[in-house]
Amino acid sequence: MSYGLTAVGAYAPAYRIAAEEFEDAWDSFHAPGVETTAVPDADEDALTMGWEAATRALDAGGSDSESVDWLAFASTTPPLEEEDLTARLGSLLGVSTDATRRVFTGSTRAGTQALDSALTAQPDCGLVVVSDCPQGEPHDAREHAAGAGAAAFLVGPDAPVVVADSATHTEAYPGTRFRERGSDAVDSIDAGTYDRNAFARPLDAAVDGVETGDLDAAAVQMPDGKQPYRAAGAMGVDTETIHAAETVSTLGDTGAASVPLGVATAFDEGAARVLAASWGSGAGADALVFERDGDLPTAISLDAGESVSYAAYLRLRGEITAEEPDGGGAYVSVPTWHRSLPQRHRLVAGRCPDCGTYTFPPEGACRGCGTLVEFEAVALAGTGTVEAKTEIGSGGAPPEFEALQSKSGAFGVAIVAFDTPDDETASSPAMVVGDAAVGDEVETVQRKIYAQEGVTRYGFKIQTT
C-alpha cells in the first residue's frame, strides 16, 4: 500500500508590493532575486491563510473536513505565541473534535517537520497546513524579502505521491534567523561567512543523505533569491532544478511555507520527482524526495492581484495605524462569541420543522411561521447572492473595527441570501472582502473580524466568486 500525498492546495494573498517601492522609500533594496512580495490583507493572518490553503486541498482531493482524523498546523508566525491553533483551524474547517492535533513552530523547518510527522503517523486522512507571514524591521533585508503564503497537503493511503527517501541534519549555529520573545521581527547577527555556513552546511548534509538523481524540481528554503543558488553546487542540485520550484521572486520569503509552496508549485506544473530541502535556524535541515506515480489533484491560488504603494504596505502591516478608541464599543464576551462559532465558522443555520423556513442565526422564533420551534441544524454551502450593500467609512463603525479601518480604509457590508440544500435561502449580514454589488454571486471566506480583550474573533466574510 502506497502512503503519501493525495491532494495539494496553496494560497497567497492577492496584494503585492514591488521591489521598486522599497527602493523609492529607502534608496536601496536588500532582497536579491525578489521582484514582488505577497502582503496579507488587514484581516488576514497565518491562520486565515492556512484555512484558504486547506479548503483548496480538501476540494482538490474531493474530501470533506469530517473525514480528517489527523490535523497539523505549522507556522513561525502564529497569531498567538501560546494557544493550540488547531482548535480554531479545526473549527473553521469543520474537522472532528476527536481528530488528532499537532502544532509545529519555532523554525522555518516546521513545515517539513509537520509533513514528516503526518507521513510517519499514517492516519486514514491527514491534513497538514503550513502558513507563514514573517516580518523584519522596516529598513532590514528580512523585511524587504518578507512575504506570505500557505500550502496544505492531504495525506493518506493509495497515494499518487510517496516519499522515496529522506534525511535530516542539525548542528548548533546560534544567532542565525531568530525572533526574540515578544517581538514580531525576524533578526540575525549578520555575521557574513558564519551565516552562510549556518545555511549551507546543514542543507548540504541533509541532501547528501538522499538520492537526488533525475530530479524535476528542488524546493529549497528561500529566504531570498540568492542563498539557495549559492548552496546548489554543494547539494549536488543544478540551479535550473531549484528555479523550477521557486516562489520567492513573486511571493517573497514565506518562512515555514517556503518549501511546501515550492513542492505544491512543482507538482502543479507536472513534476514527477521533487526534492524538498528545508532549513531552519538553530540550525538544521530536512531533505525529502517525493515521487509521483499517477495524478495528484492540486488547487493552487498564487496569482497576484492589486499592487500597493509603500505607504499602503505600512498600513496593512500595522506600522502606521490608529489604536482602538476608548469606550463606545459593542462588547461581546468570549463565552457569547463561543456560542455562535457554528454560525460564524461553518454557517450552521436552523430549518423550521413545521414550515421549512431557514433562520440564520438559528435563534428565537421561526422567520417563516413565527413559532418557537427546535430548529434542525443545517450547514449552508457558503454561497449566495448580494441583496443589499453599503459601505462603512472612517468613524462610521463601532470602535472595535477602528484597527481594521486604519489599516485598510472603508469596508463594505452586505445582506446576502445564502443558498440552502433545498433551493431556499437564508439571509444574513456579512462584511465584504474587496468589492461586491447587488446581484453579485458571492462565497464565504474566513477572516479576522476584530480583536477584543486580546482575543481575535474569526468569522465569515463574503467575496465575489
pLDDT of residue 408: 86
Q: How confident is the model at residue 456 (pLDDT cuts 50, 70, 90)?
A: very high
Q: At what angle do helices 258-268 and 110-121 cross, to 10 degrees?
A: 70
Q: Is the predicted pLDDT of residue 455 greater than 60, yes or no? A: yes
Q: How many residues does the chain have?
A: 465
Do residues 147 and 252 touch, judged by C-beta distance below 8 A? yes
Span 215-235, average pLDDT: 92
Span 356-365, average pLDDT: 93
Nearest to 151 by CA among 112, 181, 178, 125: 112
Span 340-346, average pLDDT: 95
Cell of 113: 517537520
Q: How confident is the model at residue 319 (pLDDT cuts 50, 70, 90)?
A: confident
Cell of 172: 548548533
Q: Which residue has the higher pLDDT, 234 or 132?
A: 132
* Other beta carbons less than 10 A from residue 132's beta carbon: 30
User: Mind listing the pLDDT tens digit for each residue in 402-426?
Assistant: 888 888 888 999 999 999 998 889 9
Q: Would you put residue 196 in left (φ > 0), alpha (ψ -120 to 50) or beta?
A: alpha
CA distance 102 to 49: 18
Do residues 34 and 225 touch, judged by C-beta distance below 8 A? yes
Residue 244, classed as helix, strand or coil, is coil
Span 166-194, average pLDDT: 93
Task: List strands edge to edge, sheet with 376-379.
Answer: 358-359, 348-351, 376-379
Residue 19, classed as helix, strand or coil, is helix
Span 437-453, average pLDDT: 95
* Other beta carbons less than 10 A from residue 4's beta carbon: 24
> Which sequence spans correspond to the domains of the chain?
3-317, 334-464
CA distance 343 to 80: 23
CA distance 158 to 355: 46
pLDDT of residue 409: 86
CA distance 59 to 51: 12
* Other beta carbons less than 10 A from residue 24's beta carbon: 12
User: Mind listing the pLDDT tens digit for each residue in 25-69?
Assistant: 999 999 999 999 999 999 999 999 999 999 999 999 999 999 999
pLDDT of residue 331: 78
Do residues 212 and 234 touch, judged by C-beta distance below 8 A? no
* Other beta carbons less than 10 A from residue 27's beta carbon: 7
User: Mind listing the pLDDT tens digit for each residue in 262-310?
Assistant: 999 999 999 999 999 999 999 999 999 999 999 999 999 999 889 999 9
Q: Is the predicted pLDDT of residue 142 greater than 70, yes or no? A: yes
Q: Is the predicted pLDDT of residue 326 greater than 60, yes or no? A: no
Q: How confident is the model at residue 329 (pLDDT cuts 50, 70, 90)?
A: low
Span 198-214, average pLDDT: 95
pLDDT of residue 398: 80
Amino acid letter for position 441:
E
Provide the mean pLDDT of the chain. 94
pLDDT of residue 327: 55
pLDDT of residue 318: 84
Q: Is the peptide bond before 283 cis (omega within 30 degrees of 0)?
A: yes
CA distance 208 to 447: 42
Q: Is the predicted pLDDT of residue 75 greater than 60, yes or no? A: yes
β-strand pairing of 3-11 with 298-301? parallel
Cell of 90: 479545526
pLDDT of residue 425: 92
Do residues 448 and 456 touch, judged by C-beta distance below 8 A? yes
Q: How confident is the model at residue 234 (pLDDT cuts 50, 70, 90)?
A: confident
CATH no., domain 3-317: 3.40.47.10
Q: How confident is the model at residue 441 (pLDDT cuts 50, 70, 90)?
A: very high
Do residues 41 and 461 touch, judged by C-beta distance below 8 A? no
Residue 49, classed as helix, strand or coil, is helix
pLDDT of residue 376: 96
CA distance 335 to 341: 10
> What is the pTM for the complete model shown?
0.95
Span 95-121, average pLDDT: 97
CA distance 170 to 167: 11
Q: How confident is the model at residue 322 (pLDDT cuts 50, 70, 90)?
A: low
pLDDT of residue 90: 98
**Strand boundaries in 201-281, DSSP class E:** 217-220, 273-280
